[in-house]
């Protein structure tokens, strides 16, 4: 990944030829692209803070007195207030979309459209999965990729002198990339197992994880949600959790 990002920056410089190129900007952007995959945990969390803040500004957030917020407070209490030591911050986005996501800084967002179609136990299962991506380092890697591709694109535009610290639009774009991150099937399965283990640890019935996948499987058939487009089929994931429940009963 490092090599490909640097190649973009160098190619931009070569294509610019004798044009009026901001070489300092190119060097800065190339260094930024190179460093993307070596971001420290603190840097990843800082970028996650800024991206999450921008996403919140662009969304309609349920107020504290909203039934959605009250439901989420109950769910949050059941799941816990941190992810491996990182404080969890829960909010509801008022939208018909069916989705939920989390960032490396503990920012956890669930859409009201998902809450409308699932009961509390099922939402717990879904959020446990998203928390798994954070705990297992998947969202950290996704932020590195989002930051790196932003740096690479900036390098390509350096001939116009367009180099600066991340703008609000770039932060929002990075947030969108994280929300739509395509995790590998292995990562998705790992996050499923993390959710199952978390639910069991917290004394929560893992059956909700099964039925949440079954509901999402129906959406997949009608293509009404892109939430799990790149994940293993939800029906397959439901069967995996059923197998784990059955194995634990033996």
pLDDT tens, the chain, 250 aa long: 333 333 333 223 323 333 433 444 444 444 444 445 567 788 888 888 988 999 999 999 999 999 999 999 999 999 999 999 999 999 999 999 999 999 999 999 999 999 999 999 999 999 999 999 999 999 988 888 887 776 555 544 433 333 236 777 887 887 888 778 788 889 999 999 999 999 999 999 999 999 999 999 888 876 654 554 555 688 999 999 999 999 998 8
Residue 128: per-residue pLDDT: 98
Q: What is the pLDDT of residue 151?
A: 57
Cα 237-193-94 angle, rounded to 5 deg: 75
What tokens were used for 231?
A: 């994940």
Q: What does the pLDDT read at residue 16? A: 33
At 216 the pLDDT is 92
Contact 97, 160 (CB under 8 A): no
- Residues 157 and 16 sit within 8 Å (Cβ to Cβ): no
Let me know: does 99 contact 179? Beta carbons within 8 Å.
Answer: yes
Q: And the tokens for 163?
A: 């180099």
Residues 242 and 189: their CA atoms lie apart, in Å, by: 14
Task: Name which of 163, 136, 137 is nearest 152 in CA terms.
Answer: 163
Both tokens of residue 142? 């996704």
Report how far residue 187's alpha carbon sits from residue 179's, in angstroms, rounded to the nearest whole number.
15
Round to whole Å and give the CA distance between 147 and 95.
Answer: 27
Q: Which residues of 124-160 are buried (b: 16+ CB within 10 A; e: fewer)?
A: bbbbbbbbbbbbbebbbbbbbbbbbbbbbbbbbebbe
What is the predicted pLDDT for the residue at 223? 62
With a CB cutoff of 8 Å and minimum separation 6, the contacts of 3 are: none
Helix (H, G, I), strand (E, B) or coil at 213: helix
Angle between helix axes 185-201 and 207-222 (nearest 10 degrees) is: 150
pTM score, whole prediction = 0.78
Domain spans of the chain? 2-41+140-168
Partnered with residue 92 across adjacent β-strands are 110
Q: Any idea which residues carry the catalytic annotation?
A: 130
CB atoms within 10 A of CB 70: 13
Amino acid 98: pLDDT: 94
């Amino acid at each position: 990944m490092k090599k490909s990002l640097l190649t973009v920056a160098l190619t931009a410089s070569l294509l610019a030829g004798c044009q009026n190129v901001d070489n300092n900007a190119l060097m800065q952007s190339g260094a930024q692209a190179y460093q993307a995959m070596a971001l420290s945990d603190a840097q990843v969390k800082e970028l996650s803070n800024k991206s999450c803040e921008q996403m919140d500004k662009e969304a309609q957030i349920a107020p504290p007195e909203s039934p959605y917020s009250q439901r989420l407070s109950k769910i949050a209490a059941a799941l816990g207030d941190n992810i491996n030591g990182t404080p969890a911050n829960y909010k509801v986005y008022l939208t018909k979309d069916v989705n939920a996501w989390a960032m490396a800084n503990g920012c956890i967002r669930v859409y009201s459209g998902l809450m409308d179609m699932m009961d509390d136990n099922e939402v717990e299962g879904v959020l446990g999965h998203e928390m798994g991506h954070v705990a297992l380092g998947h969202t950290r890697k996704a932020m590195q990729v989002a930051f790196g591709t932003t740096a690479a694109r900036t390098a390509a535009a350096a001939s116009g002198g367009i180099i600066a610290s991340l703008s609000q639009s770039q932060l929002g774009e990075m947030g969108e990339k994280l929300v739509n991150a395509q995790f590998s099937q292995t990562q998705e399965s790992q996050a499923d197992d993390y959710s199952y283990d978390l639910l069991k640890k917290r004394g929560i019935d893992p059956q909700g994880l099964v039925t949440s996948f079954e509901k999402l499987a129906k959406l997949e058939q009608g293509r009404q949600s892109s939430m799990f487009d790149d994940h293993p089929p939800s029906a397959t994931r439901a069967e995996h959790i059923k197998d784990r429940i059955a194995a634990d009963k033996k």
